[in-house]
Structure formats: C-alpha cells, structure tokens
Amino acid sequence: MGLLASISIGGNEYVQMHTYEVFHVYVGDQLAGTVSDPKVVEDYIIDKVKRLEEQNPNVHMVLNSDEVAYKAEKAYKIQSDDAGALANLDNMLKAHAVGVQLVVNDKLVGIVKDKETAESVLNRIKEKYAPQQKDAGRVSVLSAPPEPQAGESVIQSVEFMEKVDMNITEIKPEEIANPDDLVRKLETGDVAPSKYTVVKGDCVGCIAKKLGISRQLIYEKNPWIQDDKIKVGDVLDVTMLKPALTVKTVEKVVENQEIQHDIIYEKDDTMRAGETKTIKEGKNGMKKVTFLVTKANGYMMEQELVGEEVVEQPVPEYAKKGTKVILGEGSGKFIWPVLSAKLSDYFGMRWGKMHKGVDITGNRNIMAADNGVVTYTGNKGDGYGNKVIIDHKNGYVTVYGHLSKIETTKGKIVEKGEKIGVMGSTGDSTGVHLHFEIQRNGVAENPLKFLSR
C-alpha cells in the first residue's frame, strides 16, 4: 500500500510538471495558431504597425488587430508554436488606409491624414480673419474676452457659418490632399477672374446691387475709383471669391467720441440780429462708445451700437446773441431724424473712402433734426439719390440722403421734428436706409458727437 501511494504521488507531480498553459490565437472566428504568451502577438502587431507607418509616412494605416482574440488552455504536454502562429497572422491581418473627410454643408471638399491635420486646416482659415494679434490696436481671441479699452478691438467669437463635419473613413492613399492645397480651395473656391463693363446709368452701389456683391469688394478690386466716379466703358474687376467656408467674427470695438458742448446765449439788444459773440469758451466732452462689429471673411456685415459711457462732461459755451428773431435759426441741439433709430454704418473711413455721415434704419418717416431753412431738394446724381439739405442758420447744415419721397420744398422754414420725407434706397444705396450728415462751417462732423441714446 505504501509503495502504491508513493507511485501515485510521484505520477501526479510528473503530470503537473509537464502541464503547460498556452493561448490559441483567433482572428475573428479563424484559428491562427497557438502561442506561449499573448505578448508575443502584441509585440508582433506593434512592430507591424511601425513598419507600415515607415512605409506610408503620409497616410494613417490601420490593421484589423481589433479582431484578434485569445483562448487560454492548460493541458499535459500541450505545445505552442509562436513562429507558426505569427506566420499565419501575417497573412490574416490586413492593413488599410484611413483618413478624415472634411465635409462642408454635406459636401466632401477634401480628405486629410487625420483629425489633427483637419483641425489644423480649419484653424489656419479662422486665424486669417481672427488673428491672435493685429498691428493696429490689440485684437485677441480668448475664451473669456477682456473688455477693450478705447481704440482697441477684442474678438468675441469666431465660428464657421457653414456646417462642418469630420468623418473617419477607409480611403485609398492617393486620395489624401495636401493641406496647403486644401486651405487654398476652402478659401477661394477655385473661382476664375470676372470683369464688368460700366453702362449708362450705373453707379458703384447700383453695380454692387446688380451683381449681388459688396461695395467694399468693388473698391478693393478697383482702387483707381475716386469719389465713386465711373464712366461708361470703364472695366471693373468684380471677381468674387466663393469660398467653401465663411468665417464669421464678432468684434467688440471701443472708440472715444467727442460730445458737442452746448451754447448758452444771453440776449443783447445792442447787437445786430443774428450776430453772436463768445463771452466764455466752452469745451467738448468725451464719451466711450462701444460697437459690436460682425464680419464674414473680413467683410463687414453689421455694426451695432451697444453702449455709451460719458467719460468727460462737456462745458457749455456762453455767448451774447442779438435779440432780433431770425426765422429758421436752429437751436444747435439735434434730435435723431428717425424714430426707433438703428445704425447700420458709421462716420469715418470705410473701405478706403470717407463716409461723411451715418446710415440709419428704423421708422421710415424722416424728420428735420433741428429748426432750419430747406436749401435743396432733389437728386444731383452724386450718389445720395433723393436728398434734402437744411441750413440751420447757425453754422450747421444737415443732409438727408437716399429718400424714396421728398415731402418738403426749397425755401421752406421747417421746425425740429417736422416730417421732410420718406426713407428709401435711391442713389448709391444697397438697402433702405437714411444717410444723415451734420456739417459745421462746411466740414462734415461725426453725427454721434451731437446725438446720444
């Protein structure tokens, strides 16, 4: 009995010593072989991927390694064959190229190597219109934009107006696009040059409206145009790029603007009618004005006045004034010529040209901004369309342009708030609005200097 027990124990130990664990390797439901350790296969896959990347540096190659599975087994004297299993795996693991499709408004525009390259292409286009830094003033793109100071512009948001998708898909290596070429395609749309010949009755605004393009584009492409003067036969470059992507930016712009001081008159019956004499000089004040400027690929779409803050109060001027009443003399204090006014363009340089007033939308009835005498009604063909000019007999003149209908006459004395016409889109105008100017002693000044919310 003792001998038999000794033999049994020795046999069990022998079996245990010769029992091994192996791993059957499958690709899908196909057996590739048996290995001693899964690490053998994992090291092989890593090496194969590395070799594929070296052979295809411009393409992202993928193996169907996600189909590899293992089944462990322990058995007496079971054998593994690492080399044989790896040889079978070499035939069973298939490599294919994958890339990222850049899709704009459900239309494929190009394929790049990976998502990082796609995002780099998109960021290059955004940065063209929303750079991290501009030479003139400080322009920054931040997650929490700071409040700009006077003379500064801070980007509030940057986004594409189109729907942009990035789809990972199996591709052919030759389908990969060069990132530089793709940026150029997205920015230009591969548009050919286009020309326009001026015909009788044309004006810059008329051509822009006819072709459905921006006046700014015409000015930029044809810098020889001065004071909107073009003649029949002139050939304009009106090439309008049609980029696949449109970058919409919203900037907060802050400017310092003067506030016109008031004049307080003291009547003097020793002075001739209409004559004035300054007793104490006044001083203009200052206000900080904030705009939100919306642009599409750098072209201004909309400007909105969102805030005014008085920085320095104006100091009134004191003057003597003759007592004889002069009909049509203004008070020097102006009202908005439109009720529910909203500004669509501002005073100053625009597209390399001087914009001498402000453009206003709102209620279409146009009112005299102050008492005065109407000195002109009609259309001179100077781009203003139907316009009214009022002389306020105190050095100030106001101009009202693009009216659809004039409801006053030359020589008439009008009072502040009196209706003088109806808003329209006559002359060099691309939409219904009022062009409003304030001139002092023959020089156009910013109307916002005299108007406030």
Whether pLDDT at 134 is above 50: no
Mean pLDDT of the chain: 85
The single-letter DSSP state of residue 360 is E
Q: Kindly tell me if the per-residue pLDDT of 210 is higher than 90.
A: no
Residue 135: pLDDT band (50, 70, 90) is: very low
Coil, strand or helix: which one is 402?
Answer: strand
pLDDT above 80 for 31: yes
Burial class (CB in 10 A: 0-12, 13-18, 19+), 212: exposed
- The residues of the chain that CATH labels 2.70.70.10 are 247-449
pLDDT at 15: 57
And the tokens for 438? Answer: 């304030």
Average pLDDT estimate for 267-287: 83
pLDDT digits (tens, 9 = 90+) for 145-168: 677 777 788 888 899 989 999 998
User: Strand 317-322 and strand 263-268: pairing?
Assistant: parallel
Helices (H), 31-114: 38-55, 82-92
**Each residue's pLDDT tens digit, 228-246:** 778 889 999 988 777 888 8
Amino acid residing at 306: V
In sequence order, the 6+-apart residues with CB closer than 8 A to the CB of 372 are 328, 329, 330, 390, 391, 392, 393, 396, 398, 413, 414
Tokens of residue 200, six digits: 């009788």
Amino acid at residue number 41: V
Q: How far apart are the first and last CA of the chain?
A: 115
Pairwise pLDDT comparison (405 vs 205), residue with the higher score: 405
CA 254 and chain centroid, separation: 18
- C-alpha 186/C-alpha 204 separation (Å) is 29
Q: Answer with the residue of higher pLDDT: 7 or 426.
A: 426
What average pLDDT score do residues 268-289 get?
83
Torsions phi, psi for 92 (to 5 deg): -90, -25
Beta strands per DSSP E along 260-367:
263-268, 276-280, 285-296, 299-312, 317-322, 342-345, 348-350, 353-355, 358-361, 365-367
Position with higher pLDDT, 102 vs 134: 102
- Tell me the per-residue pLDDT of 171-197, one tens digit each, with 9 for 90 and over: 888 888 999 999 988 887 766 678 999
Q: Is the pLDDT of residue 327 over 90?
A: no
- pLDDT band of residue 141 (cuts 50, 70, 90) is very low
Query: In this structure, which CATH number among 2.40.10.340, 1.10.10.60, 2.40.50.140, 2.70.70.10 belongs to the domain 247-449?
Result: 2.70.70.10
Q: What is the mean pLDDT of residues 24-46?
A: 94
Confidence class of residue 437 from pLDDT cuts 50, 70 and 90? very high
pTM of the complete model: 0.54
Calpha distance 221→209 (Å, rounded): 16
Distance in angstroms (rounded) separating the CA atoms of residues 347 and 369: 17
If you average pLDDT over residues 327-338, what whole number do you get?
86
Residue 212: pLDDT band with limits 50, 70, 90: confident
**pLDDT score of 291 more than 80:** yes
Nearest to 402, CA basis, from 437, 352, 453: 437
Query: d(Cα 450, Cα 262) in Å, to the nearest integer?
Result: 10
- Lowest average pLDDT, out of 6-10, 99-103, 155-159, 280-284, goes to 6-10
The pLDDT value recorded for residue 152 is 81
Strand 68-76 relative to strand 60-63, pairing: unpaired
Least confident range from 109-118, 286-295, 426-435: namely 426-435
What lies within 8 Å, CB to CB, of 208 at 6+ separation is: 214, 215, 217, 218, 430
In this structure, what token pair is assigned to residue 26? 């499958």
Closest CA to 86 of 38, 46, 42, 41: 41
Whole-angstrom distance, CA of residue 333 vs CA of residue 178: 62
Q: Please say if the pLDDT value at position 138 is more than 50.
A: no
Segments of the chain assigned to CATH 3.10.350.10: 195-237
Q: Provide CB contacts within 8 A for 81, sequence distance 6+.
A: 33, 34, 35
36: Cβ contacts below 8 Å, ≥ 6 apart = 22, 23, 80, 82
pLDDT tens-digit series, residues 352-408:
678 899 999 999 999 999 999 999 999 988 889 999 999 998 889 999 999 999 999
Q: pLDDT-derived band of residue 30, with 50, 70 and 90 as boundaries?
A: very high
User: In this prediction, what percent of the chain has a pLDDT beyond 70?
Assistant: 89
pLDDT of residue 8: 56
Query: Average pLDDT, stretch 411-415?
Result: 92
> Is residue 56 pLDDT above 60, yes or no?
yes
Query: How many CA atoms are closer than 13 Å to the CA of 202, on its beta-carbon side?
Result: 19
The top-level CATH class assigned to 195-237 is alpha beta
Q: pLDDT tens digits, residue range 5-22?
A: 555 555 567 556 668 899
Sequence-distant (6+) residues with CB within 8 A of 34 are 22, 23, 24, 25, 79, 80, 81, 85
The residues facing 178 across adjacent strands are none
For residue 3, the one-letter residue type is L
